[in-house]
Amino acid sequence: MIKICGNLATEGSRTADKVFHLSENLFLEVRDYVYASQAEDGTCFRVFDAKGKFLFWVQYAENLVLGEKRTDFFDYEKRFLESERLDFSLLDQYRVFVFTEVEEYSIAIAGLLQKCYPDKQCVFLDKRAKYFINGKSIWHLPFGGVASRYMELLRRWIGGENQKIGFINRVICLFLYQFIKMLGKKGKICVVATEKDFFWPIHSIRNSAKLLYSVLWCKNKKSFGSKNENKTIVLLDYPCFNEGLVSIVRWTYAHIRWILEKGYTPVVDLHAYPNQYLNSEKENMWEYFFEPVSEISVKEVYESKNVISASENTILLGESKINSYQEKWGRKSLDSQEFCKLIRMNEETRQYVEEKMPKELSEKVLGVVMRGTDFRKEAAEKINKEWRKDIIDAKTFLQACIYYKNKLKYEYIFLATEDEEYFKMFRQTFGDKLLSVDQKRVSYDYKNQKYIQIKDLLAIQDGKVAGRNYLAVIHCLSVCDSLLFNIECGAAQLAECWNNKKYKLCKQISVGWKE
């Protein structure tokens, strides 16, 4: 993304000697230079007018999803001409678009709206937009970067950052928040911000890259044969990187929901590496554990007329930072009824899970999820994972489990943990009243050794067995009478979903817990 960043380069940003002159194609010229010169993320360039007067700085910002650099939009001007592949369903939801910054995606979206939907109104809160787009449906308000600065302040305020911003700024943020909420309720107004990595809690605020992606997500559609000519099939065949099984399931579910919402037919074929649960690229990891998600088989996909492949349209697993459709479902808590309807364990996995269940689970049992290893505080400090640093210490969490076991009068505790040290601590405390499923557990000295991810410690040899063991653990948690957990991880989320609000108590034990 190329954006105007003010009359001064952003503090701490890199500045380049290369200069540009104002033109209608400024963003394209800067982008072509950035790609050709391999300029670094955050590099700023000066822009002058035809007479040599300095106007403003522009900045290059990378599109990153799951840590991967995305260049999905380098040819968006050309792809705008392929009208049959454009998806306007998200833009259709709004009547007015308020752009807080001047950057290439906002200008591109406004131009597309001006061409295809001239009745929709575009309002720029930065008057410098007039250098790039004008017309009856385009309004320019006389501000120059002020709106974007306050949107950034609002983002930090909502995100819990920058709390020492002063009384006046806090009042402004509160006003902005309430005003934008009111706009969202009163009419079909979309406020377009630039921040890529932030989940705005207000649905009327959209990210410009996400809006562009929502239009351009379908790059390639293939025809393999004549079957299913009246259906559009979306084949979810992406790699899963280093994601855990619940993350894979959760994000695939989010994809399935938006695909169904659009009237398409989803098919899951997870045969690509990297994927820590995949034993062979000739196999479909999804069907190790689950039933197909539609009536169309993977084999039939390759005999069908209208197929959109995720891998050929750069649709990634957990890309809610850029995919507006997936974000809608990824942000929500799992809908137990709908989830269980769409995501069903296959018969072989179900039998495996039932055989692993301790017989004592037929009684009332307290379920406990205790993430350790790379979720320990000392591990988080090495990779600066702020949200992990506040995880409750092991001894206090154990005390909380003892307290609730006695208070709720449970005879047994079922423990789910991958941490061998934590497991031994619970075994020593509860003895034969501790239930568990046999699984690989590991110990590692994160305080004195270099950081290693849990996947490397577990070193999965057979993904099918490892995945089924994990599902067995989660299923056992879901049939417990109550659930305690030290952090809201995938196991706790899926257990809660499968339990469908039947827990007597479902609680995260946080730092500062007391009896």
| Per-residue pLDDT tens listing for the chain (515 residues) | 899 986 555 555 788 889 999 998 999 999 999 989 989 888 999 999 999 999 999 999 887 665 666 776 778 888 898 888 899 999 998 999 989 889 999 999 999 999 999 999 999 988 899 999 999 999 888 765 666 666 666 766 666 665 666 767 777 777 767 776 676 666 688 888 876 555 555 667 888 888 898 999 998 999 999 999 999 999 999 999 889 999 999 999 999 999 999 999 999 999 999 999 999 999 999 999 999 999 999 999 999 999 999 999 878 898 877 788 888 787 767 788 999 999 999 999 999 999 999 999 988 999 999 999 988 888 888 887 777 777 899 999 999 999 999 999 999 999 999 999 999 999 999 999 999 999 899 999 988 999 888 888 998 999 999 999 999 999 999 999 999 999 999 999 999 999 999 999 999 999 889 88
Q: Which fold has domain 81-215?
A: Rossmann fold (3.40.50)
Beta-sheet strand order (sheet of 189-193)? 138-140, 121-124, 96-99, 189-193, 205-207
The backbone region for 66, taken as left when phi is positive above 0, alpha when psi lies in -120 to 50, beta otherwise, is: left
CA 114-115-116 angle, 5° bins: 100
Q: What is the signed CA dihedral for 51, 52, 54, 56, rounded to 10 degrees?
A: 80
**Residue whose C-alpha is closest to residue 443's, from 458, 459, 460:** 458
Return all residues near 113 (Cβ < 8 A) that are at least 6 apart. 91, 97, 120, 122, 137
CA-to-CA distance for 193 and 152, rounded, in angstroms? 9
Return all residues near 39 (Cβ < 8 A) that are at least 6 apart. 16, 33, 60
Assign 193 to helix, strand or coil: strand
Residue 65, pLDDT score:
61
Residue 510, pLDDT score:
92
**For tokens 């385009």, what's the residue?**
138
CA-to-CA distance for 49 and 428, rounded, in angstroms? 75
Q: What tokens appear for 417 in the block?
A: 């943990």
Return all residues near 38 (Cβ < 8 A) that are at least 6 apart. none
CA-to-CA distance for 106 and 109, rounded, in angstroms? 5
Question: Matching CATH topology for 81-215 and 355-508?
Answer: yes
CA-to-CA distance for 10 and 343, rounded, in angstroms? 46
Residue 11, pLDDT score:
56
User: 438, 227 in Cβ contact below 8 A?
Assistant: no
User: 55, 83 in Cβ contact below 8 A?
Assistant: no
**Residue 378 identity (one-letter amino acid):** E
CA-to-CA distance for 39 and 85, rounded, in angstroms? 31
User: 327, 442 in Cβ contact below 8 A?
Assistant: no
Residue 188, pLDDT score:
85
Give me the residue spans of the domains in the chain.
2-61, 81-215, 220-342, 355-508
Assign 201 to helix, strand or coil: coil
* H, E, C per residue of 276-319: CCCCCCCCCCHHHHECCCCCCCHHHHCCECCEEECCCCCCCCCC
Residue 239, pLDDT score:
94
Q: Which fold has domain 355-508?
A: Rossmann fold (3.40.50)
Q: Measured on CA atoms in the order 288, 293, 296, 301, is the torsion positive or negative?
A: negative
Residue 42, pLDDT score:
87
Question: What H or E segment, with its residue span, contains residue 424?
Answer: helix 420-430
CA-to-CA distance for 338 and 120, rounded, in angstroms? 35
